[in-house]
Structure 1
Amino acid sequence: MSVRFDLDPSVTPELRDGICALWTDVSNAGGAVGFVPPVTPEDVRPDLLGHLAAMAEGRERLVVGRDAAGRVLATAFLNLNSHRLMRHWLWVYTVMVHPSEQGRGTGRALMAAVADAARTLDGITGIRLTCRGGTGISRFYTACGYKEVGRVPGAIKVADGDLRDDVTMWLELH
């Protein structure tokens, strides 16, 4: 299945609902995107609305991947730094690929689209993201060219007695 990536698509009710459904599906499949399963769209919606508000205020950008029918299959939110000493890099949040697309190259294509989008933004020279330790996802980001540059042991509490590292990854744009 071919996935088309767009930067800053129009936020329609269909897109909003598609991202909410994707976030719910990814979370319930065990994806480390801010929730612990089980979750419902109602659990996810407030976080999504926060991202959409930041987009409306110009603080975030969205890269979205959709199939030919327009179904949302992948997302990443690009958070622009407001601090004067850090405006040359951005954060990437809520990187998601639908479980049906995992292992098919969609994640790598998403991260390439994120890097391409960042390169179009004036003065951006690097991308920073964090991921949950213990999931193996840092190997994926390493394969996409990111380097681990920091780790906070036990910073993420998944459940009582289940603390995970918060891993910081960096991609230098060339």
Structure 2
Amino acid sequence: MIRALTADDLTAYRGLWLHGLSEDPFAFLLTADEAVATRDSALAAKLTAGEVIGAFRGGHLLAFVAFRRGGPERLRHMADIGPLYVHPSARRRGLAQALMTEAIKVAAALGVLQLELCVDAQNLGARKLYEACGFQKIGLRPRSVIVNGVPRDDLLMLKTLDA
């Protein structure tokens, strides 16, 4: 089942997020320490706003994708996608594709005209997924992040929803 997460999903969301950070730190912007320090109230507000979509099986959260609509009026036409994480036990089952499809549908219903994301240039699987969802590379941000002293480049990708 795929649905928007709510504040009732806070514990499951935080747990899967922290698991993802330990398994694949390159897939996330925040560090594990920053994630642990994030207040429950901030996460609950994000979940209440409908900014995180999750995939469940047997009542267990297996995957999620987040999106953030632009805050100021002049940015309300766009939303940022990410992070997207699928627990290793649930990979290769179409969950990432299903989550992205739902995120695109929700964004379009909100009147979003374009979706943007950054993806680690070395993450070929994620790049392939985003391209399959209609995202196009629009740029490269060299040394976008430094993880454990290692600089990483990000690809900037965009999908228009009004074309």
* Unpaired segments ≥5 residues, structure 1: none
| Pairing 1:73-92 to 2, within 5 Å after superposition | 73-92=62-81
More helix by share: 2
Q: Distance in 2 between matches of 1:111 and 1:150?
A: 21
Q: C-alpha displacement at 1:115, in angstroms? A: 0.6
Query: What corresponds to 1:33 in structure 2?
Result: 28
Q: Taking every aligned residue pair, what percent have the same amino acid on both sides?
A: 21
The verdict on how the C-alpha distance between 1:155 and 1:10 changes in structure 2, with shifts beyond 3 A counting, is closer
> Equivalent residue of 1:44, what SS?
helix
Q: What amino acid maps onto 1:107 in structure 2? A: A
Q: What amino acid maps onto 2:54 in structure 1? A: V
Query: What corresponds to 1:10 in structure 2?
Result: 6
The TM-score normalised by the length of structure 1 is: 0.79
**More deviation, 107-116/44-53:** 44-53
Q: What amino acid maps onto 1:46 in structure 2? A: A
Q: What amino acid maps onto 1:134 in structure 2? A: Q
> Equivalent residue of 1:52, what SS?
helix
Q: C-alpha displacement at 1:35, in angstroms? A: 5.2
Query: What corresponds to 1:63 in structure 2?
Result: 53
Q: C-alpha displacement at 1:48, in angstroms? A: 6.9
* Unpaired segments ≥5 residues, structure 2: none
Q: Distance in 2 between matches of 1:157 and 1:10?
A: 32
Query: What corresponds to 1:102 in structure 2?
Result: 91
Q: C-alpha displacement at 1:110, in angstroms? A: 0.8
Q: C-alpha displacement at 1:81, in angstroms? A: 0.8
Q: Distance in 1 between matches of 2:21 and 2:46?
A: 22
Q: What amino acid maps onto 1:52 in structure 2? A: A
Q: Distance in 2 between matches of 1:54 and 1:74?
A: 16
Query: What corresponds to 1:72 in structure 2?
Result: 61
Q: Distance in 2 between matches of 1:47 and 1:130?
A: 22
Q: Distance in 1 between matches of 2:39 and 2:84?
A: 13
1:153 aligns with 2:156: no
Q: C-alpha displacement at 1:152, in angstroms? A: 0.9
Query: What corresponds to 1:45 in structure 2?
Result: 36
Q: C-alpha displacement at 1:146, in angstroms? A: 0.9
> Equivalent residue of 1:85, what SS?
helix
